[in-house]
């Protein structure tokens, strides 16, 4: 079948289409209805069906391939390597589940996971899935304040963490960040389960902190059956940034997610049982949830959990892993490739990568030079794919499991089955013509696997995502795009204040709030500025209460350092602005709105745009002067 017909059927015959896809997973009890869309825009998939993500990821493969590898852990930071077959992974997950149950964690309870890239992180996620607890993984690169806001929103009964992560050979102690976060929280978790890697000594809080190694010994022979869950129960929440400073807990179901992942592994990633999938993302991001942990395992593939960077110990490490584990499907981010592009291209051909059928890239725009460089250097198909934390799996890409449509440089591809993608005029809500710029929107219901709601806030879900385009109840991706006459889309950047630094999604408001906690600041604005390596970087403009504080170059530099340190401490180094510039005032509209887009344009040497509403145009000169100084 061709992709266009496959797509059309997925929209015109939702019930038939998704009932077929649902056959890719195992159900304990069949669903009574494919879709309940009686309360738009809330979609309930596979109503009444009972299944379990952990069962589909592990247990079901125990019958057919218990000894096949399921998880390869490789850390080039610590030199550790461990592999687990499906049978061994099963045992570890059951032990972790037993520990959780013994601590009173039950169905629907939240477990917050703040972990580096170690197998225990995957055990914890799968153990939650097994017992029906809701996991909420927080990226290990986030620091205390980011973590605290997520703890308070998720209200976990248990936190699973580790002594430290390591990046670029530098140990990052997690426990002090976690302790500080808990001290900032209104909600105090009852228990903290600590995996001690022996990287950073830490103090335990008696009565609260538990050691994983000892408890694992206690539960070595545990036998914990899966808890069958109704398809629409919650599997996890994952926080992501938006326009406000408050992160949103993207909430996902069980059955719809399992079906969506299984279908994507078949039609998009074309992965087969017994093969190896290598995704270089982190479990703290949606890509890690879908394509490090759940997707490959559901498909019966081995997954590689990699702690390390693309260039340590050398720029051949990723390809060495491809060779060693005969990786057939690989998934990374454009930033990683841009990092490799600065290295000797001979690394790309040093190892035998003939097992690799395709390299998928996502998370940020894939620029044409980078796409060409890697595609020519590797001699393998490069597949760009566009999606979001909210959707859980690709919205736009090509699906070579359906049809071998060609890819086009600069385009992530076409609308995927299940997604009724529209390009809408921001103000009128009308569909725009081919080659016209519009907001990338999805006509609801969203397909299986997409977010159900915002954790604890249905109203915010509807308001944030479905009420931004006048006159229509339609999901906004907050991305600009165009579509060519052949149906290929091109993504042109965000419509909101979200920025994308090296594939990490950050809200500029969160960074502004963090900077503003410095006593010297009157106000500030953070914008995303185009960067050759990272796609975008955050650049801050700060107004001081007392301008004399930045009177000399030395004083400016010292203050800039202090402000960066605040962001490091509160949010984590990922959010640290590349520069903090000091200005006398920020460009604002007469109604007081900061003109972030104009600031961004000036930083990128573009035209600042429509300035009819600006309060004082000299503020723009101050931005220019600050950049020049
Ligand atoms: P996240 O929720 O962190 O996955 O970030 C989602 C956002 O990243 C999207 O809304 C886009 O702005 C951007 N993005 C993700 N993948 C792509 C892609 N392949 N091309 C262009 N932008 C992308």
Q: What is the CATH number of the domain that holds 555?
A: 3.30.300.30
Is 243's pLDDT higher than 80? no
Domain stop point among 494, 515, 532: 494
Other beta carbons within 10 angstroms of residue 223's beta carbon come to: 9
Does 332 fall in a domain? no
pLDDT at 193 over 80: yes
**Of the candidates 281, 276, 271, 360, the residue with the CA atom closest to the CA atom of residue 324:** 276
| Mutational test site, ligand 1, from 366, 388, 441, max ligand atoms within 8 Å of CB | 388
Q: Which of 305, 306, 363, 314 is nearest to 334 (CA)?
A: 363
Mean pLDDT throughout 138-143?
Answer: 93
Q: 37 CA to middle of ligand 1, Å?
A: 27
Angle at 64 between CA 60 and CA 68, to 5 degrees: 100
Mean pLDDT over 7-26 rounds to 98
pLDDT band at 244 (very low <50, low <70, confident <90, very high): confident
Round to whole Å and give the CA distance between 309 and 609: 39
Rounded CA gap, 257 and 263, in Å? Answer: 10
CA distances from 463 to 152, 412, 470 (A): 22, 28, 12
**In this structure, are 233 and 297 located in the same domain?**
yes
Together in a domain, 113 and 239? yes
**pLDDT reported for residue 229:** 99
Same domain, 207 and 240: yes
Residues 168 and 282 in one domain: yes
CB-CB contact of 115 with 136 (8 Å): no
Q: What are phi and psi of 309, to 5 degrees?
A: -110, 170
* Non-local CB neighbours of 628 within 8 Å, separated by 6+ positions: none
504-524 per-position pLDDT tens digit? 999 999 999 999 999 999 999
Query: Does residue 1 carry a pLDDT above 90?
Result: no
- Cα torsion at 138, 71, 388, 361 (round to 10°)? 130
Residue 365 domain-assigned? Answer: no
Whether a cis peptide bond, with omega within 30° of 0, leads into 41 is yes
Question: Which pairing describes strands 229-230 and 236-240: parallel, antiparallel, or unpaired?
Answer: unpaired
| Cβ atoms of residues 286 and 235 within 8 Å | no
Distance (Å, rounded) from C-alpha 444 to C-alpha 554? 55
pLDDT band at residue 433 under the 50/70/90 scheme: very high
Distances, alpha carbon 31 to alpha carbons 26, 43, 132, 149, 229, in Å: 11, 15, 18, 36, 12
164 part of a folded domain: yes
pLDDT of residue 629: 83
Same domain flag for 444 and 402: no
> Does residue 403 sit in helix, strand or coil?
coil
199 in Cβ contact with 78 (< 8 Å)? yes
Contact predicate 307/116, CB 8 Å: yes
319 belongs to a structural domain: no
Whose CA is closest to atom 18 on ligand 1?
386
Distance from the alpha carbon of residue 79 to the mean position of ligand 1, in angstroms: 32
User: Taking residues 356-366, what's their average pLDDT?
Assistant: 96
Give the residue-averaged pLDDT of 552-562: 96
Rounded distance from Cα 290 to ligand 1 centre (Å): 15
Strand pairing category for 248-252 and 81-85: unpaired
Whole-number Cα distances in Å, 178 to 117, 143, 190, 338: 17, 8, 14, 32
Tell me: do 487 and 618 sit in the same domain: no
pLDDT band at residue 423 under the 50/70/90 scheme: very high
| Average pLDDT value over all residues in the chain | 96
Q: What is the mean pLDDT of residues 583-589?
A: 94
* Whether 264 and 238 share a structural domain: yes
Would you say 466 and 475 are in contact if contact means Cβ atoms under 8 Å apart? yes
pTM above 0.85, yes or no: yes
Pocket of ligand 1 contains residue 155 by CB under 6 Å:
no
Backbone dihedral angles phi then psi of residue 575, each to the nearest 5 degrees = -95, -5
pLDDT at residue number 242: 80
Cis peptide bond prior to 445, omega within 30° of 0 = yes
Ligand 1 and 574: CB distance under 6 A: no
- On the 0-12 / 13-18 / 19+ scale of CB atoms within 10 A, 380 is middle
Tell me whether residue 342 is in a domain: no
Together in a domain, 81 and 110 = yes
C-alpha 387 – ligand 1 centre gap (Å): 6
Q: Rounded to the nearest whole angstrom, what is the distance from the C-alpha of residue 143 to the centroid of ligand 1? A: 23
Bond before 311 cis per omega within 30 degrees: no
620 and 524 fall within a common domain: yes
pLDDT confidence of 241, banded at 50, 70, 90?
Answer: confident
Report the distance separating Cα 94 and Cα 274, nearest Å.
Answer: 22
**Which amino acid residue places its CA nearest to atom 14 of ligand 1?**
364
Judge if the beta carbon of residue 386 lies within 6 A of ligand 1: yes
pLDDT at 296: 98
| 365 in contact with ligand 1, CB cutoff 6 A | yes
How far apart are alpha carbons 80 and 195 in whole angstroms? Answer: 15
The residue whose CA has the least distance to atom 1 of ligand 1 is: 388
pLDDT number for residue 165:
97
User: How much is the average pLDDT of 310-332?
Assistant: 98
Q: Is the domain of 455 the same as that of 525?
A: no
> What's residue 404's pLDDT?
96
Where is 212: in which H helix or E strand? helix 212-218
Q: Based on the number of CB atoms within 10 Å of its own CB, is 419 exposed (0-12), middle (13-18) or buried (19 or more)?
A: buried
For 70: left if phi > 0, alpha if psi spans -120 to 50, otherwise beta; the answer is alpha
Q: What is the mean pLDDT of residues 149-175?
A: 97
Calculate mean pLDDT across residues 317-341: 97
Asked whether 412 lines ligand 1 (CB < 6 A), one says yes
Is 359 inside any structural domain?
Answer: no
- Domain boundary residue, one of 453, 476, 494: 494
Length of the chain: 629
At residue 609, the pLDDT reads: 84
The residue behind tokens 């393998």 is 380
CA distance 614 to 612: 6
What's the confidence (pLDDT) of residue 7?
Answer: 98
Rg (CA), the chain: 24
With respect to residue 248, please indicate whether it lies within any of the assigned structural domains. yes
* β-sheet bridge partners, residue 434: none
User: Which ligand 1 atom sits closest to the C-alpha of 287?
Assistant: 4
> Does ligand 1 have an atom closer than 6 angstroms to the CB of 512?
no
- Going from the Cα of 61 to the center of ligand 1, the distance in angstroms, rounded, reads 32
Domain boundary among 467, 494, 521: 494
Domain of 420: which CATH number? 3.40.50.12780
Per-residue pLDDT, 424: 97
Query: What are residue 211's phi and psi, to 5 degrees?
Result: -95, 125
* Helix 175-184 / helix 144-154 crossing angle, nearest 10 deg: 50
Give the percent of the chain with pLDDT over 70.
Answer: 100
In this prediction, what percent of the chain has a pLDDT beyond 90? 95
Does 419 share its domain with 487? no
> What pLDDT score was predicted for residue 610?
81
In angstroms, the CA 1 to CA 6 distance is 7
Least confident of 298-302, 457-461, 538-542, 592-596: 592-596
Number of domains comprising the chain: 3
Question: With 80 as the cut, is the pLDDT of residue 245 above it?
Answer: no
Instruction: DSSP letter for 392, please.
Output: S
Query: Are 482 and 608 within one domain?
Result: no
Q: How far is the CA of 394 from the centre of ligand 1 (A)?
A: 10
Answer whether residue 210 is part of any domain: yes
Q: Is the CB of 385 under 6 A from ligand 1?
A: yes
Burial of 162 from C-beta contacts in 10 A (0-12 / 13-18 / 19+):
buried
> 362 C-alpha to center of ligand 1: Å?
7
Task: Supply the pLDDT for residue 11.
Answer: 98
Confidence of residue 593 (pLDDT cuts 50, 70, 90): confident
DSSP label at 505? E
Instruction: Kindly give the number of the ligand 1 atom that is closest to the alpha carbon of 285.
Output: 3
What domain range is 42 assigned to? 3-308+385-438
d(CA 297, CA 276): 10
């Amino acid at each position: 079948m061709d992709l266009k017909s496959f797509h059309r059927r997925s929209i015109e015959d939702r019930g038939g289409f998704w009932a077929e896809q649902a056959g890719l997973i195992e159900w304990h009890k069949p669903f009574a209805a494919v879709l309940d869309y009686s309360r738009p825009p809330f979609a309930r998939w596979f109503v009444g069906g009972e299944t379990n993500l952990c069962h589909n990821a592990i247990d079901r493969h125990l019958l057919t391939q218990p000894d096949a590898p399921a998880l390869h852990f490789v850390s080039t930071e610590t030199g550790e390597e461990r592999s687990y077959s499906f049978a061994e992974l099963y045992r570890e997950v059951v032990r972790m589940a037993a520990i959780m149950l013994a601590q009173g964690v039950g169905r629907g309870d939240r477990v917050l996971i703040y972990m580096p890239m170690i197998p225990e992180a995957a055990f914890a996620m799968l153990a939650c899935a097994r017992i029906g607890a809701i996991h909420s993984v927080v990226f290990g690169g986030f620091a205390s304040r980011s973590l605290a806001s997520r703890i308070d929103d998720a209200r976990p009964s248990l936190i699973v963490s580790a002594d430290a992560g390591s990046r670029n050979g530098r140990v990052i102690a997690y426990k002090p960040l976690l302790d500080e976060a808990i001290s900032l929280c209104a909600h105090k978790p009852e228990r903290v389960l600590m995996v001690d890697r022996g990287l950073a000594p830490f103090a335990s809080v008696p009565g609260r902190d538990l050691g994983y190694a000892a408890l694992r010994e206690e539960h070595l022979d545990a036998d914990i059956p899966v808890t069958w869950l109704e398809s629409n129960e919650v599997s996890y929440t994952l926080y992501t940034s938006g326009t406000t400073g408050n992160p949103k807990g993207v909430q996902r179901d069980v059955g719809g997610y399992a079906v969506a992942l299984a279908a994507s592994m078949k039609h998009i990633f074309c992965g087969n049982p017994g093969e190896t999938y290598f995704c270089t993302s982190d479990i703290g991001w949606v890509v890690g949830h879908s394509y490090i942990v759940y997707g490959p395992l559901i498909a019966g593939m081995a997954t590689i959990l990699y702690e390390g960077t693309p260039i340590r110990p050398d720029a051949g490490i990723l390809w060495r892993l491809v060779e060693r584990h005969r990786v057939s499907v690989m998934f990374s981010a454009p930033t990683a490739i841009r990092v490799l592009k600065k290295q000797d291209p001979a690394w790309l051909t040093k190892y035998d990568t003939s097992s690799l059928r395709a390299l998928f890239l996502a998370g940020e725009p894939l620029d044409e030079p980078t796409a060409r460089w890697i595609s020519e250097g590797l001699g393998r198909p490069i597949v760009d794919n566009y999606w979001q934390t909210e959707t859980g799996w690709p919205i736009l890409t090509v699906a070579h499991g359906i049809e071998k449509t060609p890819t086009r440089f600069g385009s992530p591809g076409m609308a995927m089955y299940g997604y009724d993608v529209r390009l809408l005029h921001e103000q009128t809500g009308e569909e725009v013509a081919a080659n016209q710029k519009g907001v990338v929107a999805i006509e609801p219901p969203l397909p299986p696997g997409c977010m159900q709601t915002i954790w604890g806030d249905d109203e915010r879900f509807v308001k944030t995502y479905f009420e931004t385009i006048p006159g229509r109840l339609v999901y906004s991706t907050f991305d600009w795009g165009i579509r060519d006459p052949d149906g290929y889309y091109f993504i042109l950047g965000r419509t909101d204040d979200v920025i994308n630094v090296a594939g990490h999604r950050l809200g500029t408001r969160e960074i502004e709030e963090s900077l503003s906690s410095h006593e010297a600041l009157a106000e500030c604005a953070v914008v995303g500025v185009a960067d050759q390596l990272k796609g975008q970087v955050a650049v801050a403009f700060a107004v001081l209460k007392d301008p004399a504080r930045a009177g000399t170059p030395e004083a400016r530099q010292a203050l800039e350092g202090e402000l960066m340190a605040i962001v490091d401490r509160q949010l984590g180094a990922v959010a640290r602005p590349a520069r903090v510039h000091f200005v006398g005032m920020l460009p604002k509209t007469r109604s007081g709105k900061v003109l972030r887009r104009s600031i961004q344009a000036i930083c990128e040497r573009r035209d600042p745009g429509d300035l009819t509403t600006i309060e004082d145009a000299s503020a723009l000169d101050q931005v220019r002067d600050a950049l020049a100084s």
